[in-house]
Amino acid sequence: MIKARPAFLLLCAALIPVLILATVMGWFVVQERQEAAIGAVQDRAGLLANAVRRDLDTQIQLLSLVAESPRLDLPVSRSSFAETARRLKARAPQWEQIRVSNAQGEIVLSFPPLAASASREVVDRESHERVVRSGNGLVGNIVIGSGGKAAFPIRVPIQRNDQTKAVLSAVIRPEMVAKILVDSGLPEGWSAWVTDSQDRLVAATVTSNLEARPAAEFAVAIEGERFSLFNGSSFQTAGASLEGTPWMVRVGLPSADFERPAKQAILLLSSACVVIVLLCALAAILFYRELRARTSELESMANWQRMDALGKLTGQAAHDFNNLLMVFQSGVEGIERRRNDEERVTRLLGHMREGLTRGKTITRRLLSFARRSNQGAEHIELQAKFEEMSPLLRQALNDSILLEIDLPSDLWAIHADPVGLEIAMINLLTNSREAMADGGSVTVSARNIPEGSFEDKRVQGPVVAITVVDTGSGIAFADLERMFEPFFSTKANGGPGLGLTQVHGFASSSGGVVKAASLPGRGSAITLLLPKSNARTPVDENSSHPDLPRCVLVVDDTPASLESARLTLDGLVADVITARSGAEALNLVQSRAGIEAVISDIMMPGMSGIELAEDIARIRPGLPVVLMTGYSDKLEAGAAVSRPVIMKPFGTKDLAAALLAAKPEAPDLTNVVHLGQLPRS
């Protein structure tokens, strides 16, 4: 059975698309059959319209010959008219009456004669007036005559000397048109009817006694071309106009016959769907079992590969940290051996401080694998930052390119990731270098832009514009909009262009934008617009600050970390209180007076530091809270935190700056304030 499972799975995979294709093809066949039926009905309607039109034309031509006869020269004698009309009725027995009316619509002659009490006015006056105006023969509308019977006239003008002197009319019963419809050879069960210009029923194949009544009393449109007749029957219809007349013939196919293919298609589709579902279920079961079998075979190999990758990563991290631990171990042992050798102790402490900085860098790189937020953003003084980056930026160019950095003395600080800024500047200079194969110059400048001075709606608040201008080959206008797209490149070797994509991503994550302008052959200018920093200037760790709190509560569930935080605050604030859980800290805040600030770890069992900060905000609004962490999954997921966050390990200067930033009057707090890379005095 295990060996047959792949064969059954393959069979199901082959049958399912075949059934789906057959079902779709069957559905299209049904659609074509219905379209063919509609076409047949349309053809029938056209044939019937032509047949009725030919018969009416014959009547009009015969009547026109009579109108041109000298016997109807005015004034017409009654005896001569009666003799002529008698002969016409013999040739056209369907003519019920033959009449002559003057231009005003008054009947002057009639055969058979009108009763003494009958009206002398033409009933269908509209068609009479049209004949007088146009001088052409036509078919009138069906009306109810004075005798209560339905009839319609055909009228031709009696013209002499190109002037219409009178109108000759023949009144015809609708049975003549009904006979044409019945004798047309419609398939059994089909129906047809004729309506005039006023949408009244002229004749139909179904006896209804509704002639000259509104067509809606005979047939009502249900949906589209589907009509329901007065007797309850339903038809799918098509209409055709009688050429040269306002009449229309409508032919209907019984709805049951029209819908039969659709019902067959639905039955076919339902049956096919059931079979397909069963086959899909069987295929899913077989696939699941096959997948489990394959997964179990590959699981050991996958686990080994994961462990190998993890081992390489942890091995590299262990190697780096062991080097750092060696620095600290030798430093501790050296201090223990020669405590009184101040010069040696100072040198060892310097090595240990450098090791601490490298450890922070390693940790930061490790965390970047899982980072999804802008946690690395911090307060950056651009003059100092560019002075620090200057050698690195010059290395990104070559000896044939002159670099000039022009920053004003009153340039604002920005809030961004310093590492991201370094990479972005290196990418911009690298891009300029590739555009200046024969050498040139690059100028890096910056300026302050107040709020509201920039038209781009994506820029909110005051920003600092950092512009890189080169004298290279420039960028084509068509490429300006695409230059920041991933993998878009104009390099001759076809290499991917990811540098400018990183610049765009850095600007967006920092809350800013990047703009580009260029003159082909003259050079290009790329501008980074980064938000102004509103953070306070860090305090000197060796000096007191009047705004620092006097009593601080430190909360951490790890004793060593709690003691380290307490020692960091020692000498910075007057009184330090500690708590080992969020619940204990909350009780202290409620019961003990004089607490002016709280520093809490984020990752704690029971109540996290974020939850503790929210509870403190409810019971003591305005009490500053600083959060500290080595890693927080909530922060990395982009959780909004309105308190400053400092990354472990941190120093006295970092903690002092965070306490100042946490004060209620501090403007524009950001979600995450990373203070681990502040410059040291």
| CATH code for position 462 | 3.30.565.10
The verdict on 35 and 182 lying in the same domain is: yes
What backbone phi and psi angles, to 5 degrees, belong to 541? -65, -20
Residues of the chain with pLDDT > 90, as a percent, come to 8
Residue at 343 is within a domain:
no
Query: Is 447 in a helix, a strand, or coil?
Result: strand
Domain stops at, among 254, 279, 302:
302
The verdict on 525 and 574 lying in the same domain is: no
The verdict on 516 and 601 lying in the same domain is: no
Question: What pLDDT is stored for residue 446 in this prediction?
Answer: 92
| CATH code for position 602 | 3.40.50.2300
- For strand 401-406 and strand 150-160, is the pairing parallel, antiparallel, or unpaired? unpaired
Task: Specify whether the CB–CB gap between 168 and 92 falls below 8 A.
Answer: no
| CATH code for position 120 | 3.30.450.20
The verdict on 521 and 637 lying in the same domain is: no
- For strand 645-647 and strand 597-601, is the pairing parallel, antiparallel, or unpaired? unpaired
Burial of residue 445, with CB atoms counted within 10 A of its CB: 0-12 exposed, 13-18 middle, 19 or more buried: middle
Residue at 370 is within a domain:
no
- 217-226, 249-258, 510-519, 646-655: which has the minimum mean pLDDT? 646-655
Number of domains in the chain: 3
The helix (H) or strand (E) run that includes residue 405 is strand 401-406
Domain stops at, among 262, 277, 302:
302
The verdict on 503 and 565 lying in the same domain is: no
Other beta carbons within 10 Å of 270: 11
Average pLDDT estimate for 399-426: 87
The verdict on 84 and 186 lying in the same domain is: yes
**Domain coverage including residue 16:** 1-302
Q: Is the dihedral of CA 287, 293, 296, 298 positive or negative?
A: negative
Question: What pLDDT is stored for residue 492 in this prediction?
Answer: 54
Residue at 585 is within a domain:
yes
Burial of residue 492, with CB atoms counted within 10 A of its CB: 0-12 exposed, 13-18 middle, 19 or more buried: exposed
Quote the distance between the C-alpha of residue 364 and its chain's center. 38
> For residues 297 and 2, what is the distance between their CA atoms, to the nearest angstrom?
14
Question: What pLDDT is stored for residue 598 in this prediction?
Answer: 92
Residue at 114 is within a domain:
yes
Residue at 545 is within a domain:
no
The verdict on 502 and 619 lying in the same domain is: no
The verdict on 587 and 628 lying in the same domain is: yes
| Res 330 pLDDT > 60 | yes
Other beta carbons within 10 Å of 653: 20
Query: pLDDT by residue (tens digit) across 535-583?
Result: 655 544 444 456 788 899 999 998 888 888 888 888 788 888 999 998 9
| Res 443 pLDDT > 90 | yes
Task: Specify whether the CB–CB gap between 157 and 133 falls below 8 A.
Answer: no
Provide the pLDDT confidence category of residue 488 given band limits of 50, 70 and 90. low
Residue at 558 is within a domain:
yes
Closest CA to 153 of 161, 141, 164: 141
The verdict on 157 and 65 lying in the same domain is: yes
Average pLDDT estimate for 155-178: 87
Q: Is the peptide bond before 70 cis (omega within 30 degrees of 0)?
A: no
Domain stops at, among 502, 531, 560:
531
Query: pLDDT by residue (tens digit) across 68-99?
Result: 888 777 777 788 888 888 888 878 888 888 88
The verdict on 564 and 527 lying in the same domain is: no
Question: What pLDDT is stored for residue 368 in this prediction?
Answer: 43
Closest CA to 627 of 654, 592, 588: 654
Average pLDDT estimate for 645-672: 71
The verdict on 468 and 592 lying in the same domain is: no
| Res 297 pLDDT > 70 | no
The verdict on 41 and 120 lying in the same domain is: yes
Residue at 84 is within a domain:
yes
Task: Specify whether the CB–CB gap between 403 and 397 falls below 8 A.
Answer: yes
Residue at 349 is within a domain:
no
> For residues 140 and 63, what is the distance between their CA atoms, to the nearest angstrom?
14
